[in-house]
Chains A and B, each alone.
Chain A
């Protein structure tokens, strides 16, 4: 019987939609994973220097041990947010002659193969064999490493156990994050030095590697406990199965004030707030907004006009770039409805444009906090905002008419490349690189002040000719209507 389950398992892996992606996307994802792995590996080797720099009066290994608490807090929160135990996939097995415990064990076994369990090894193993082994014997080092892996797996098992409460997912995440942050605070400010206790424990393990057996005992207990609990909950109406509850509705009634585009605005906002995919896309808007903190401090980037424009376009255009690029595809599921009703495509596009302007302005206002990096930064953000409103927003709308990939709003966008066809890559290319090349060319040919002026005026030009540009865009949408309808019918 377990052979059948294993074969199903293999098939679900090889036949998952992931492998049906185009080569380009596989390469991209592969590159990303490779980059992450290499970074972590390098971190494993350079960790001693980093620790030395931040904790000069401590020994490297005990400094490492004393910071482990923070690592576990971080990983527990991440697990709560991203790790799933796919009980749903077992529904078809429930009516077949399998014991529930067997299905449950299969689920728990499968859950171990999660990249959260492998990623830490990438820097723990080099650190163990490069640094720890220098001071301790092989046996002691191995004991220490096994203990760490054990704790990671305990973290994993507890994470899975907490998933039982996915019914209260939001509350649970809040509680875990609260407890985590609380632990961090009391320990960081040495009110209750939890991290030092953990550090002492790991120091002790280095002395007495037999202690590594302690977490292993816990793992076995937790493993059995989890299997029992999951088997107990294998009913369609149990809390292990995901359910959508009645919702608290926010109707965005203030959009009524915006006249004819009001109802489209409210539809757009409802879509963003009520769907998994759009909500997570919105997270990347937040990330792009905060991008400045990473790069502005870096003097080599913050001194070039061209890179300032690049950052400015990303920050002020964060919404257009990450959300707007999928613009009609967000509506792909009910596109026939939009096309058979007297829907007023024009108003819909105008509402879209309005959102681009509003988001650019909000992002610009937000970006005034980057004033701490100097007035020049703000000036460039201002230039970029004008350019985004006048040029980028129009280009995003125009390119939207080429969109050909439907998007399933109910899927999370974490590692989700659905909807990213060639046109989307083209668009990201045009939206981000276009302005940079344009500005680069201007600053090559002209004096600084003139290049700023012409760049800004280009944006203003786009705003002035807004009406006629929108007319052109509208014609494109009408022309491409049947092609869009056809490609949205194809499920990817």
Chain B
């Protein structure tokens, strides 16, 4: 579905992303791991055409992301709180995202009600603006909003951070269930190797903007990840 070809991004001569050839297939749950500065967020931003590549191109469904805007119809994302409109209430925000996908507010409410356990009663019917909610709750809102409207590709940047332990396990389940129901592609970046090894079907390790490893998840994956990242 998504192909990066010779994708390179430089800032003042420093190469922060240099991917020769990388393709994500439909139905994959891809975990993108790497230390700070490895280029995870840069790659996501480039896929979403939020930054311009210095060289190469990225295709989403055979169309270059910087030439056609078709991808916006079936790709959704939550990278950080810049994807939230913080002076809206959670419900208003969900309804807005839904309306962009042609959903009525009843449809949206029905969809959202499936995430009641994830929200843990901290968001429903709250007459509070998103800006007044805790970071964890804001993140939950962003993640759930990115699932509205039957997307075929979902990009999540560090979705497990800021969440309490139970919510982290719930999120794992949500991603798995959602992928199975919709056969969609997930791109997930994370620092939490455990979650990634558990939830993803494929893992891409980035270092200094380059792909250094790209494996299908198996029983040995966790060991392989640990041997790569551990310092001893």
**What residues of chain A have their CB less than 8 Å away from a CB belonging to chain B?**
244, 246-249, 251, 263, 267, 270-271, 274-275, 333-337, 339-344, 409-410, 482, 485-486
A246–B128 Cα distance when bound, in Å, is 5
Instruction: Decide if B100 touches A342 in the complex (CB within 8 Å).
Output: yes
**CB pair B129 A334 closer than 8 Å:** no
Chain B 65-101: CB-based contact to A (< 8 A → 1; otherwise 0): 0000100110111010011111111001000110111
- The verdict on B49 contacting chain A, using a C-beta distance below 8 Å, is yes
Contacts of B83 in A (CB 8 A): 334, 336-337, 340
* Contact (Cβ within 8 A) A247 B82: no
Complex interface: chain A residues within 8 A of B100 (CB) = 341-344
- Known contacts A246-B128, A247-B127, A267-B96; is A339 also within 8 Å of B85 by CB? no
B85 touching A485, Cβ below 8 Å? no
**Is A485's CB under 8 angstroms from B87's CB?**
no
Q: In the bound complex, do residue B127 and residue A249 qualify as a contact, i.e. CB atoms below 8 Å apart?
A: yes
Q: How far is the CB of A232 from chain B (nearest CB, A)?
A: 26
Asked if B30 CB lies within 8 Å of chain A CBs, one says no
Which residues of chain B come closer than 8 Å to A267, judged between CB atoms? 85, 88, 96
Say whether B48 faces chain A, with CB atoms less than 8 Å apart. yes
> Chain A residues with Cβ under 8 A from B97's Cβ?
341
B50 touches A341 (CB 8 A): no
Q: Are A342 and B51 closer than 8 Å at their CB atoms?
A: no
Task: Scan B35-72; emit 1 where CB is below 8 A from any A CB, else 0.
Answer: 00000000000001111100000000000000001001
For B72, the chain A residues whose CB sits under 8 A away are: 340-343
Inter-chain contact B77/A334, CB cutoff 8 Å = no
Residue among A247, A271, A486 with the highest chain B CB neighbour number at 10 A: A247
A44 vs B206: C-alpha distance when bound (angstroms): 70
- CB–CB A247/B96 < 8 A: no
Residues of B contacting A270 in the complex (Cβ-Cβ under 8 angstroms): 87-88, 92
| Chain B interface (Cβ < 8 Å from any Cβ of A) | 48-52, 69, 72-73, 75-77, 79, 82-89, 92, 96-97, 99-101, 126-129, 131-132
In the complex, A263 Cα to B89 Cα: how many Å? 15
> Shortest Cβ distance from A292 into chain B, in angstroms?
32
Of chain B, the residue at the smallest CB distance from A332 is B82
A246–B132 CA distance with the chains assembled, in angstroms: 9
Report the separation of the CA atoms of residues A423 and B109 in the bound assembly, to the nearest whole angstrom: 42
Chain A residue numbers with a CB within 8 Å of B79 are 336
| Assembly CA distance A265 to B127 (angstroms) | 21
Instruction: Quote the shortest CB–CB distance from B126 to chain A (angstroms).
Output: 8
Query: By the criterion CB–CB under 8 Å, are A336 and B50 in contact?
Result: yes
* Most chain B beta-carbon neighbours within 10 Å: one of A271, A340, A409: A340
Residue of B nearest to A248 (CB): B127
A271's closest neighbor in chain B, by CB?
A: B87
Question: A342 contacts which chain B residues (CB < 8 A)?
Answer: 69, 72-73, 100-101
- CB-nearest residue of chain A to B85: A334
- Whose C-beta in chain A lies nearest to the C-beta of B79? A336
Which residue of the partner chain B has the closest CB to A273?
B87
Known: A244-B132, A263-B96, A274-B129. A337 touches B85 (CB 8 A): yes
Expressed in whole angstroms, the minimum distance between the Cβ of A186 and any Cβ of chain B is 40
Residue of A nearest to B45 (CB): A336
A257 to chain B, nearest CB (A): 15
Chain B's nearest CB lies how many Å from the CB of A352? 16
B84 contacts A275, C-beta separation under 8 Å: no
Using Cβ atoms and an 8 Å threshold, which residues of chain B touch A249?
A: 89, 127
A339 and B49 contact, CB distance less than 8 A: yes
Residues of A within 8 A of B126 (CB): 246
For B84, what are the chain A residues with a Cβ–Cβ distance below 8 Å? 334, 337
Residue of B nearest to A251 (CB): B92
